[in-house]
Chain A
Amino acid sequence: MSDPANITLVTMDGTTFTVPSAYLHRSKLVQDWLRSEGDKQAMEVKHVTPFVLQGVLNFCEIHAEDTSEPLADPADPTKPFEADPRDDAFRGMPDDQLLQFTMAADILQIPELVRLTAQEMASRIDGKSPDQIRAMFNPDDLAEEDVDSDNEMGEVGEEGAISK
């Protein structure tokens, strides 16, 4: 069975997006869905807001013509990450929005976008203390819990400093 020309995605609130199926060839979730049995009218993408899905589809459109080999493991150490100027939109994004894109990349299983967003998240966490990391995200959500960091420092030695 050949792939349809277009694919329709439906977000959590019922907003629909119809895009050429070629855009989504790197999404494992979509590819699995295409190969599965049943109704192919529209694919539900729960847990993703229309704004974020729009952004993800923009990324897919920009990279639809990319000829690079599909990335099997987003953390493959033999394939170092190289910043692509076409993805600069992710660099200026607020922290909580970036997090939503990271999660959407994970839900749609697009390894290239997982690597890009996780890399950007990591570079923002880089060098921050636990308190600063908590402040980056929702402080209520990341309430300080009884992780005994002092105890653990003894376990791993002095090299792992808690703050810079």
Chain B
Amino acid sequence: MEPTKKFTPGYLTGASNEILFEIAKKLLAEDVLNFSYTNRLLHTVCSQDWVWKHLCFRDHGVNFIGPDTSWKRFYYSEDIKKVCRHLSAIDEKESLQSLQQYYSVALKCSIDECNTQKLWMCLAKGCSVVACGRSGDQNGHAEQHYEMDKEHGLVIQIRTLQIWCYTCDKWIGTPNSHPAEKAKVNAITRLICNTMNRPDLQSEVALNSRRQHERDLEEEITNDGKCVLISMIWMKEWCSFMTGNPLPGPVDNRSLLLANGSVNPDMSIPEDFVIISMNTWAYLEQYYGVDGRMLSEGALQILRYRCCVA
């Protein structure tokens, strides 16, 4: 009971704020609004952040929020339906402890001792299983782990601290994600980076937004008709950077050329090369540099012919 409040039995305004909160938390959101329009006191109580925080979690399963908004606004926004609500179950401190333990012991996939460095850690409460991913030379044990228990959908890449959700089937907390999701993921990675004090980890984390940007670029479809060829050898290095390996060197197309410098006609997609847009090429040229020259449309004409014959 609030000491300043005059007590009168049977009067709603005589009830403590705690009781009004308890009632509000059990109402549908629409009824909370109606309850709040009854009078000024109830309006103050029902507008409190923790009433709406409770409703956000109860109705949408989301317990994290971005900057520059209130829980009430967030409740009614479209964004709340788009964020990865599985993040609500993640405890930053527990994730940190698991990773700290990991760095002091194993360096292998714990499911089948796969010898790969591209490892993921399950973020489910009390789990922290370490397993390999599904790209390149890996065996996809992290995904198998998720298939066995669908509650274990969120995994963190140990080397880069990027987070993937198997349930949502996407990267979580990327530059394009909703602010709430970004804020939550940033809080996790910041806590881990600051506590672990590993400069190598920090520089990897700093590259994560670049990784996401380049993943988006890779998926871009060529629509202007102008295409550029990229050697598959370099492409593989680039892809492995996007999934967590070190940066590759300059774009190198020499594997596509004959000794005299002309394009080798005996090549096929996608064994030897892939096609990217001009836009992507311009990006690669700017950020990676180019060793050799650009192979574009003219070269493609010859190859298209070869593809048809084959």
Contact = CB atoms under 8 A, between A and B. Distances in A.
Given A100-B10, A125-B23, A146 B31 contact: no
A134 interface: yes
Nearest to A118: B22
A160 B77 CA distance: 11
B40 to A, nearest CB: 4
Given A47-B1, A97-B10, A103 B16 contact: yes
B158 to A, nearest CB: 30
A5 B136 CA distance: 71
Given A114-B22, A134-B38, A122 B9 contact: no
A156 B73 CA distance: 6
Given A102-B22, A138-B10, A138-B11, 15 more contacts: A47-B1, A75-B25, A103-B16, A105-B19, A107-B1, A114-B22, A115-B22, A133-B38, A138-B12, A141-B11, A141-B12, A142-B12, A143-B39, A152-B33, A160-B76
30 contacts: A52-B9, A75-B21, A75-B54, A97-B10, A100-B9, A100-B10, A102-B23, A103-B19, A106-B1, A106-B15, A118-B22, A121-B26, A125-B31, A125-B34, A125-B35, A128-B34, A130-B34, A130-B35, A133-B35, A137-B10, A137-B11, A141-B12, A142-B38, A145-B40, A147-B36, A147-B43, A149-B37, A156-B73, A156-B76, A160-B76
Pairs A-B, 5 closest by C-beta atoms: A122-B26, A96-B10, A118-B22, A130-B37, A75-B25
A81 B26 CA distance: 10
Nearest to A137: B12
Contacts of B29: 160
A160 B33 contact: yes
A119 B1 CA distance: 20
A106 B12 CA distance: 13
B38 A130 contact: yes
B178 interface: no
A146 to B, nearest CB: 7
Interface residues of B, number: 41
B7 interface: yes
A114 B22 CA distance: 8
Contacts of B1: 47, 106-107
Nearest to B18: A106
Contacts of B202: none
Interface SS of chain B: helix
B58 to A, nearest CB: 5
Contacts of A127: 31
A147 B9 contact: no
Contact of B8 (A105, A119, A141, A162): A141
Contacts of B7: 47
A155 interface: yes
B15 A102 contact: yes
A13 B290 CA distance: 90
B43 A102 contact: no
B15 A155 contact: no
A106 B43 contact: no
B240 interface: no
A38 interface: no
B30 interface: yes
A159 B76 CA distance: 7
Given A121-B23, A162-B37, A106 B16 contact: yes
